[in-house]
Structure 1
């Protein structure tokens, strides 16, 4: 049985053979997987695949089967990341909803939106830590070998159910090499709409989820829309706004929603944030069931956003990187059908505004 991405006509040749990857990795066992892959010009998926037959098992990236099997595993840690943020939630995979193009996990702790079209490789991985303990994880990657989602076993995990899930997803043929697919050029979508059309559609929104359809219909990238729409709906904030937001939310013991995602998965925290610590460029949240690691130095713009709904406008804060991609997004936790919490709105409105300075 072949991996799904091996059927593509256009393929990326292997930069290094699995044997070469294993030999280099043996010389640098202490290096984090993502850092090792970047330094040695391979994908993280190639690094994991090279261990198939020893510490890794190749799995079908079947989102539906995964979500149906994970609830029986009990407590685990879900991890979703992009280049600048790592979002970790400890809890149960509860209330899975599986569709052809999208799936959801609607648990009290683990809250996910998954897009199976971006899941191309899967592995069960065992890693021995410095303390000698073996750590178990399920890791899934896109066609370019970039991680989309990982599940880590915990001390309370039901390992019999975990092993049964692995057995149900295991490929009959276990290969230690994978074939990646190059990123395709974006399809031409026509001329982007002007500001008048954008403002008309923005004003007409009655639900925040309509925003994605507005952007699609008007052929506008997300950040382009924020820059165009006008300061009554989107206003640029100072770089310090992100750290200020965490500090203010923690001080107010305010439940917030924190979204981190990539094309294959979006992971959501809903609740307060408490233990916040900045180390170097990293802002870290280290609460009991929620861990976040955010690279503040990779944020190039931060925006406060107001979206109309049937219950009054909803405020969010969004941070973007140098490629104009969304890194992280924040909302105040609210009950559907009710206006957002006044404390959250006040925090957003009081965040420091970006001030343009002219270079000498």
Structure 2
């Protein structure tokens, strides 16, 4: 059984379960982002994993460019592309365990104050284990007790008076870059999903549930490069490139490519939306997928170069996805 599922069954956090093995197969670490990222750059090939309740995003590659900041840090590279929010990282652990075949598996696991996993790193056969050991030494926590104190779930921050439809449409129409979207929502005191529901079908329209699988079917095996974003409060992980091999296994829709694995729970999708955002280079199309709590599960874009319009093939894929009918909505 996976640690996440075992912890849920026993009403504890995953971080508490991992911490209980400190002194045995686990070493507690400081969640120091700068030391971690620079150490991983020296370690060579690794697998990085970021997940939320409904999606798991795995990338195999090397850490290339590292940008460290007090509020956000980044890894930029051909394979590993991350956006990290250090204030959300509370606990870290190095874990070693033997799999069913007797092979030793090494990982670094990081959690938020509530004990939820925000980021994991797994060693690969090509990982430089000498540099991996140096990194563990540099991150080792002075306290190696087997218990941690997690915090209760934080209540959602209270928003001020939300903007009305005219204000939303005025600001939306004035966008010149996709990175302006989140600051716009903050300024207007609007949750992301509520903004999509309000703005009007020229900018956002709800898709049929089948559209998510339809998106994968439309792009898999083609040379159309897409971007897939999966995140939580502490990390967002990005894939950029084509996808090739997809498979449906129970409720999970999977991508099983050489350097990219994605696992998406279709049964936990509450709504999917096609979204159109203006930019100085023409509008950009995306598909956003939400759970029952209104939280973003996964987001898809067509890969494009800054300063160029999006690929017509991607725009055609998005605009051809089935729209939610009134019958299905009821």
**TM-score, normalised by the number of residues in structure 1:** 0.90
Unpaired runs of at least 5, structure 2 = none
- Which ranges of 4 or more aligned residues in structure 1 deviate by more than 6 Å? none
CA distance in 2, matches of 1:114, 1:359: 36
- Whole-Å separation in 2 of the counterparts to 1:349 and 1:171: 51
Equivalent residues in 2 for 1:11-30, closer than 5 Å: none
Shift of 1:184: 2.4
How does 1:181-330 map onto structure 2 within 5 Å? 181-330=151-300
Q: Which runs of 5+ in 1 are unaligned?
A: 1-30
Q: CA deviation at 1:182?
A: 1.2
CA distance in 2, matches of 1:358, 1:277: 25
1:172 matched to 2:142? The reply is yes
Q: Which residue of 1 aligns with 2:123?
A: 153
TM superposition shift of 1:252 = 3.1
Equivalent residue, structure 1, for 2:48:
78
Q: Which residue of 2 aligns with 1:53?
A: 23
Quote the Cα distance in structure 1 between the aligned partners of 2:12 and 2:52: 17
Q: Distance in 2 between matches of 1:197 and 1:132?
A: 60
Where 1:357 maps in the other structure, the secondary structure is helix
Whether the 8 Å contact between 2:221 and 2:245 is mirrored in structure 1 is: no
SS in 2 for 1:209: helix
Question: What do the CA deviations read for 1:240-281 (whole angstroms, capped 9, x no partner)?
Answer: 111110111114321000000001000000000000000110
Residue deviations 1:223-252 (CA, integer Å, cap 9, x gap) = 000000000000000001111101111143
Q: How many residues align?
A: 330
Equivalent position SS for 2:92: strand
**8 Å contact kept, 2:91–2:113:** yes
Q: Which moved more, 1:249-258 or 1:332-341?
A: 249-258
Instruction: Please name the residue that 2:303 is paired with.
Output: 333
The counterpart of 2:8, out of the listed 22, 26, 38, is 38
Aligned to 1:120: 90
Most deviating of 155-164 and 175-184: 175-184
